[in-house]
Structure 1
């Protein structure tokens, strides 16, 4: 039988889809692209925004119309957060949440054999363990994503994810090392540790912290680079930073979720830090890591945000000097506290603020790229472009393009950066030692 998978959302979702795909394959399914004819279609959903829910429902219905005799399985965050709404999508033959990933296959088989819908949704419970899962390979040939944490307890006023993902739970250190050893044997040189609230790794027991996961990952032979996914800024301590700074394989790229540079807005969002505390963390990172890239997410137009609040957020972003910023306009999320707040702004205001923030932060990105010019950086090359150029990333995740007369995919080479555009830098491969060896 043939199975196909489609993923909405974050790197955690992508990782979990990869694990599901591998499990189905190990049980006799042939995995095919989603646009091809299959016996089973699995749609792994995201529910961060109501727009995401809409796209999920549309894809479920389109898939069933296209392949009426196939089993369509809906899984992931949307059914977990809104079980009744998900169960009401009758085009989905199987509806499962963000728990018991392996159990999805049993539900699919039951739907095939008994010709009936299977809805298996159970709420998260306090103290539930981290669900064991391991990925052995990814579509990318040089970088792998490894989920080491699930769940969130921050309860930001705009966010539904704690409901969808449940309590904090963490992958044991030894399981991380085992998974990375397999990935290294399969040729992966770089690993990205990801989680729903990655900074909370180990928080549920207090027995270990994120720095220990980084140390464990860096200890694996064959893994040459370790980087982190998105981080909540208030949970990183000086000890964490000191320990990570001692790891030569650790990449100095920190995606610190900001959301707003205005304290009044941060308070309404129920974020757990002030702009001054965020700035102090950035200063501590830059003091410990040479040429660190600080990237972030900024939301504009949150409920109650005044023009003064918005301009304060813009000024703060410029003060920090981010390497890159993902800007998005606030949208009301059903089931959150922010849904019932006063002061929701017109779409036109949010869109105007989004355009202005993007314009101002694009200038920061350009300045950061300019700062990288005339330096020599180690680049892990990943892809060959149609024009014969090769593209890869530096340790601080600057995109670099360079020419080579041989296939250099999968190699880490020193590159002198000589020019840049809006996408990244162009460089010349330097013969000789890598920067750390020079």
Structure 2
């Protein structure tokens, strides 16, 4: 029987989908690409914004129209945060973020109820004398939950692998529903990290990205620190590059940076979530640093890692943000000279404090501010690319775009179009950066 997956959201969701793919394959299912005909659909949802919820519901409805007797599974952050709404989604099986390990068993049970098995190519048809119903298996978080064991040996269609090492968040930013959707901080054991990376290395992966919901909180529950996980990952034979996912800036200490700098495999790209460069807005967001403290963290990173890429996220149009506040953020972003910025317009999220704040910003104003900031950060990105010209960088080749030309990334996550002979996806090649073309660098493989 064919199963397909539709994944929304962050790198943690992408990792968890890969874990589910492996589980379904082990149970005898055939995994097909999104959009191809399948008897089972698994939607791994994101609920950071209401738009994510809508996309999940739309995909469920589309699959139901195209496969009236198909089996639909909804999992992830949306049902965990909003179980009552998810219950009305029309999915046959609904689980949250704490129950992904049960999904295959729940699907097999439902297929058996319909009289078919995983090896069947028939559509699973409901008995005509039974009403359609949803199986709901959402486990509430207690605050004392354990890290759900997952192992990924392959990351389908990718030359780098994400490895989830941390889950949960207890920061409670005023705009964010994720602590409800993911529970409190919990961490993967170091031995489990190294065994997973060893399996990935055996399957040809040379670069891994350690990811989490609030990654710098790794080890808060076990007496460890994120740098311990980084050092363990760098010690795995066959893994040549280790990268970190999104980081809360105030949680990086000088000792952390010193230990990171001692690891030759560490990729000097720091995605430090900013959200705003205005202290007034940061306070309303319940962020735990000031703009000056953020700038000092960036200074200390650049002192340890010359040429490091500093990337970030910024939300514009947060409740109460004045034009002066926005201009303060714009000036701060330009001052820091980020290599890349993801710009988001504020999305009102039910269940958060910010949703009830006064002075909500009109959509048109949010979009206009987003466009202005996007234009400014595009200039910063091209300036960063220009700084790489003339240097020789190691580049992980990811995708062929033309004969003898591949797209890839340097250790500091500069995107490069590489030309040369004998190129192949998954190789790490030394490349002379020769110029820039649009948002890319160009280079010649040595």
Task: Using structure 2 for the length normalisation, give the TM-score.
Answer: 0.94
State the distance in 2 between where 1:406 and 1:114 align. 53
- Are 1:364 and 2:365 an aligned pair? no
CA deviation after TM superposition for structure 1 residue 155, in Å = 0.4
Matches within 5 A, 1:252-291: 252-291=268-307
CA deviation after TM superposition for structure 1 residue 105, in Å = 1.4
- Are 1:231 and 2:231 an aligned pair? no
Unaligned runs of 5+ in 2: 115-132
RMSD: 1.1
Unaligned runs of 5+ in 1: 431-438
Q: Deviations over 1:162-185 (max 9, x none)?
A: 100001000000000000000000
Task: Using structure 1 for the length normalisation, give the TM-score.
Answer: 0.96
Contact between 1:110 and 1:118, CA under 8 Å: does it hold in 2? no
- Are 1:16 and 2:33 an aligned pair? no
Residue 218 of structure 2 is matched in structure 1 by 201
- Are 1:213 and 2:212 an aligned pair? no
Residue 33 of structure 1 is matched in structure 2 by 33
Matches within 5 A, 1:33-72: 33-72=33-72
Contact between 1:141 and 1:187, CA under 8 Å: does it hold in 2? no
Residue 177 of structure 1 is matched in structure 2 by 194
Residue 104 of structure 1 is matched in structure 2 by 103
CA deviation after TM superposition for structure 1 residue 423, in Å = 2.3
Deviates more, 1:369-378 or 1:253-262: 369-378
Runs of 4+ in 1 over 3 A off after TM superposition: none
State the distance in 2 between where 1:272 and 1:124 align. 24
CA deviation after TM superposition for structure 1 residue 422, in Å = 2.9
State the distance in 1 between where 2:438 and 2:96 align. 39
Matches within 5 A, 1:18-417: 18-89=18-89, 91-115=90-114, 116-205=133-222, 207-417=223-433
State the distance in 2 between where 1:41 and 1:7 align. 11
- Count of aligned pairs between the two proteins: 428
Contact between 2:99 and 2:139, CA under 8 Å: does it hold in 1? no
SS of alignment partner, residue 102 of structure 1: helix
State the distance in 1 between where 2:322 and 2:108 align. 53
State the distance in 2 between where 1:126 and 1:183 align. 31
SS of alignment partner, residue 144 of structure 1: strand
State the distance in 1 between where 2:346 and 2:49 align. 9
- Are 1:419 and 2:435 an aligned pair? yes
State the distance in 1 between where 2:66 and 2:106 align. 22
State the distance in 2 between where 1:275 and 1:36 align. 47
